Amino acid sequence: MSRIGNTPSMSEITPEKFYLQRREFIKNSLLFAATSTGVGSTLLWLMRGLRAKDHEKAAATVTPDVNAALNVTRHLDYASGEKNTSYNGVTNYNNFYEFGTDKSDPAANAGTLKPRPWQVTIEGEVARPQVFEIDELIKSFPLEERVYRMRCVEAWSMVIPWVGFPLGDLLKRVEPTSRAKYVAFKSLLDPQQMPGQRTDLLQWPYVEGLRIDEAMHPLTIMAVGLYGKRLPNQDGAPIRLVVPWKYGFKGIKSIVNIRLMEEQPPTSWNIAAPDEYGFYANVNPAVDHPRWSQATERRIGEYHRRPTLPFNGYSDQVSGLYAGMDLRRFF
Amino acid sequence: MAMSGRKSPIPWLKPAVLTGSLVPIAAILLRAWRDELGPDPIAQALNQLGLIALIFLIAALGCTPLKTIFGWTWPMRIRRMLGLLAFFYAVLHVITYTVLDQGLDWHAILDDIVKRKFIFFGFSTFVLLIPLAATSTNSALRRLGYVRWKQLHRLAYLAPALAVLHFIWRVKLDVREPVAYGLVLAALLSARLADYMRDRKTLLTREI
């Protein structure tokens, strides 16, 4: 076939005109392919926004021992039998700015957090200040599963089976003095473990606070797990606050310090935007966020919005704490 | 000329840009189908459609500066298409908000538009785009006359500015991304302003 000197007959030769058209066609096809790919991939890249580098490695950063089962002694459902939000939802849709501002960032980036060894200091207006080693602390309480609704200030919500113990039981151990009117909480400060702390979006460490009666309320818990297992890093390992009638940002994560105080402590989101986030931050459909409505919420995993309930549905238990207070002023 | 009769010197340009520009909607639909839009898929689709609409609004404004600064004429060939793509994604964004997010609760939607400045600005952007899309055809240009058409289409400067405000007020704290788009937009608008000033100067000099 490829014998040298085998000249094709005239009829087999492509006329120059078509030859040029073919080249033109190939050239245009390549330019079309390159341009459409370029435009498409640029748009896909922009759609990722500021989201952290590669979320693909998320699967690799599973918290060690996260599957270690916790010894739960009793189960209490405070969400009227509503369906739990999937484990996948609870652990992949988090606001934890220490690991990035996109809700998928914490699941991807929180692998750098080391939840063991860990100590929690309780001090201030207490008779017996103490430093607790985390596993000793967890072992010293009968753990309860508490199924709570969680309402984020961004108007989405979840139902989460937390595992933990009442904060009040912990505080009783350190014997608050009569001057203990407030409880201040502090998260870990360590930009090595928490890369988001290298930005100054919020003041670090994250701080939160409760009034002492809110802290002692039986619904207020320190959570150390969810779905019967240890807290994943992105959900605030190894120990976090859960106050089910308040917006989610009150639930400070990865706590290292608890201080009882006479004065109301500063709180992170209030420092960042005082007109938008108050100290109390009770879930209240009647008081809108200055920029969006709080009247409805979307439960993660559902399509239709549902009305938001006063105190996130825990009015019967907690509205007494705020009797006589103007909840528009103390938002 | 050997190649006479050819309509466009770059016949692949428009189809290529259009194909690439439909990648975002294809990606969103595919991810929705595969349940990969994350735990709050409506919010995710809503945000991404809005972002793409803004990107096209800004891209459409980039065409003239590319011509004046680099002398490129090809961006002008796709300017109308970029504007219409912006409108297309804006419509999808608005449909996602009204139908999927709010479930056609017109009372809540009206309340949002009146009370929330971020939604008011987003809604205003959309309203401004309607006459622009409606008069995007050659026949509309002829009907209106070039001067009036051009005046009307100056809304294309205002729309992305409102969209950026909509974006900035929407985010909770981290405004880096919307501010980045705002800076690009500001640069493009300054380029246009510089052109305008220079043209005016030339005109004045000629008159003298």
User: Tell me: the pLDDT tens digits for A164-189?
Assistant: 999 999 999 999 999 999 999 999 99
Beta-carbon contacts of residue A234 (< 8 Å; ≥ 6 apart): A91, A92, A94, A96, A99, A106, A107, A110
Nearest chain A Cα distance for residue B192, angstroms: 24
A323, pLDDT greater than 90:
yes
Whether chain B has a CB inside 8 Å of the CB on A292: the answer is yes
| pLDDT at position B4 over 70 | no
**Residue A82 structure tokens:** 């509503």
- Tell me which residues of chain B, numbers 86 to 145, contact chain A at a CB-CB cutoff of 8 Å: 100-103, 105, 108, 111-112, 115-119
Lowest mean pLDDT among A6-15, A124-133, B154-163: A6-15
Give pLDDT, residue B203.
Answer: 74
pLDDT score for A18: 73
The single residue listed with the structure tokens 């430093």 is A131
Q: Provide the pLDDT for residue A94.
A: 96
Q: Give A19 or A327, the one with higher predicted confidence.
A: A327
Min Cα distance B92 → chain A (Å) is: 15
A35 vs B17: CB contact, 8 Å cut-off? Answer: yes
Q: Where are the domains of chain A?
A: 13-47, 61-322
Check CB contact under 8 Å for B23 and A39.
yes
Q: Are A196 and A97 in contact (CB under 8 A)?
A: yes
Tens-digit pLDDT profile for residues B151-178: 999 999 999 999 999 999 988 888 999 9
State the average pLDDT for chain B. Answer: 91
- A contacts of B43 (beta carbons < 8 Å): 156, 298
Q: Which of B19, B51, B108 sits opposite A47 (nearest CB)?
A: B51
Least CB–CB distance from B21: residue in A39, A46, A288: A39
Using CA coordinates, name the residue in chain B closest to A95. Answer: B172
**Which of A:120-159 have CB within 8 Å of B?**
154, 156
Question: Contact A32/B101, CB-based, under 8 Å?
Answer: no
Q: What is the CATH number of domain A61-322?
A: 3.90.420.10
Residue spans of the domains in chain B: they are: 13-207
- Per-residue pLDDT averaged across A109-126, rounded? 97
What ipTM, to 2 d.p.?
0.91
Task: Using the predicted structure, report yes or no on whether residue B3 has a pLDDT greater than 60.
Answer: no
Instruction: Note the helical H segments in A102-177.
Output: 105-109, 134-139, 167-174
Question: What pLDDT is recorded for position A4?
Answer: 58
Contacts for A139 with CB less than 8 Å, ≥ 6 apart: none
If you average pLDDT over residues A133-144, what whole number do you get?
95
Task: Examine the pLDDT at B1 and tell me if it is beyond 50.
Answer: no
